[in-house]
Structure 1
Amino acid sequence: MSRPDWQREGRSWPNREASTFVRAGSHRWHVQRGGSGPRMLLLHGTGAATHSWGPIWPLLAERFTLLAPDLPGHGFTSPRASGILSLPYVSRAVADLLREEDFAPHYVLGHSAGAAIALRMALDGLIAPERIVALAGAILPIGGAARHLFPAAAKLLFLNPLVPSLMAWRARSTGAVDRMLAQTGSRIDARQRDLYASLFRHSSHVDAALALMANWDLEALARDLPQLETPLTLLVPEGDGFVPPAQQREVAKVVEGAEVRALPGLGHLAHEEDAEAVARAIEGVVADAIGE
């Protein structure tokens, strides 16, 4: 199974100077750390990696001390050590990393599936941040028949060892990557697009994305959400093509005190599409929370 190589794909990795490799738990993690100020943990979504934070990193680093890992099997972090990349497993793995790094976040910014990880960690007492910011959060199960179809389909793909290699091979077609990115509702620049294409050429990265989807049970998370005590802000891109804005707003109905802030004109990859607008929104959330 092919993996991204730090000496090859990593040569032009965004914010490479902030990168390091850390052994924690069952994984050798690729981590980026930098900035100054209150500590903020950044958790990317399924199929992405730390490159996703590339455009917004310098802006957030002016105000926060940032820690951003590649999730297990994604990017340059070593693949899963066992067969299950479930939401609880990934949450515990990230907690292992935080202990190793001695990093207790004041804030957590989770994009897409990264928001679900942040919430699971808070509910399980693995972190105690002052606030979680969910950006285009993939938090609730997909409605209707698709709720059962998509995880089942991902599981079938995951169990076929040829599928990750096949999907990685297909990613060599610029059209396949462009079609996938177009579905997000975002328009990202050529550099970000090329980084996604580079990752999806490697079967280990595709395998990890499929493994997450195959084992991603959001129903348990949805049942536990009313117990969340950590303040929650939902940043909702109005043009999100992956997670319907209405579904993201549903979260606010079950989490006491949760607030919703819209991001007009942006898609699922809002922070890559307009880093300045999203950084301003995040800084506004924190400023309001502390009464600045």
Structure 2
Amino acid sequence: MSGGADIPPDWPNRACSRRIRHRPHDWHVQEMGSGETLLLLHGAGASTHSWRDVLPRLAQQYHVVALDLPAQGFTRAGDRRRCGLVAMSTDIATLCDTQGWHPRAIIGHSAGAAIALDLSTRLTAPDGMPPMVIGLNAALDRFEGIAGWLFPVLARVLALNPLTATIFTMGGNPVNRARRLIEGTGSTLDPAGLALYARLISDRGHVDGTLRMMSQWDIDGLLERLERVTAPCHLITGENDLAVPPKVSDRTAQRLPNCTVMHLPGLGHLAHEEDPERVCDLVERILSEPVPRIP
């Protein structure tokens, strides 16, 4: 996958996939619909497949762009040192400028929501103001306690070992491994959704890219300037999320100057894959309402 394979014909929404070679990466992008632009950013370890039902639904009203983050899914990383939050945000902003994309809103899931928030300070919407940010189970917090220093160190060590990705893709039925991973986030996916994640976690390039993102992840700078983010923000959290507890969104919303938070009962970390219609209804309602702007 990210190691260099082409996009398989049975990949979700394959008909709207294309490659954009823009330094430093060879991007895999899915583009559909017309009108105002929405940019979709998946979380760590996922790909555009995460939006498989959301993309065509939102494309009924909007021009929707979803991309694979560097070294994940089918985006080939030209520089594997640029897999951290600020580097990815900078490279995506440059890609958007080159392609003439001026998103009205950036919709990010988990770590993708953190990138979306940082990206909102680098892009302008068609009205000349920062684009709206819609965060789904947004990972906008530091790790707590011992994990605060142990996890980053461990991730860096794993990413530096060329055998790590191979070890992660070995052993056991990949569908069963995917099921355990997904259930650990508080979500339940159908067999088709599990099969897609099983393919991803069986791909050495994708796993290596995910580890590199984790090893380079540093959210401190973004958290320190939350009070200065002027983009209108909406945080949507699944009440069953075991990966990023709802309290993270509640706490973050108190610090953002222009933010609302909504809880979805019965859904976990992958709420938009569990119940895409419910999430899309909420997103469309948010986009249809006037939002006060902070200059």
TM-score bracket, shorter-length normalisation: over 0.9
Quick check: 2:230–2:258 contact (8 Å CA) kept in 1?
no
The one-letter code matched in structure 2 to 1:288 is: E
Q: Of 116, 119, 142, which residue of structure 1 is paired with 2:117?
A: 119
The residue matched to 1:42 in structure 2 has which SS? strand
Aligned-residue sequence identity (percent) comes to 38
1:72 is matched with 70
1:97 is matched with 95
TM-score w.r.t. structure 2 length? Answer: 0.93
| Structure 2: segments with no counterpart, 5+ residues | none
- Displacement of 1:175: 2.3
The residue matched to 2:72 in structure 1 has which SS? coil
Distance of 1:214 and 1:171 partners within structure 2: 25
Give deviations 1:191-246, integer Å, cap 9, x for gaps.
11111111111111001111111111111111011110101100111111110110
- Displacement of 1:39: 0.8
Mapping 1:1-292, distance limit 5 Å: 3=3, 5-6=5-6, 10-123=8-121, 125-128=122-125, 129-170=130-171, 172-289=173-290
TM-score w.r.t. structure 1 length? Answer: 0.93
- Displacement of 1:137: 0.4
More helix by share: 1
Distance of 2:23 and 2:120 partners within structure 1: 19
- Displacement of 1:80: 4.8
Distance of 2:159 and 2:18 partners within structure 1: 29
Quick check: 2:239–2:264 contact (8 Å CA) kept in 1?
yes
The one-letter code matched in structure 2 to 1:102 is: G
Structure 1 240/138 Cα, relative in aligned 2: closer, same or farther at 3 Å? same
The one-letter code matched in structure 2 to 1:278 is: V
Quick check: 2:235–2:249 contact (8 Å CA) kept in 1?
yes
| Structure 1: segments with no counterpart, 5+ residues | none
Distance of 1:251 and 1:103 partners within structure 2: 28
**What is the aligned length?**
288
The residue matched to 2:252 in structure 1 has which SS? helix
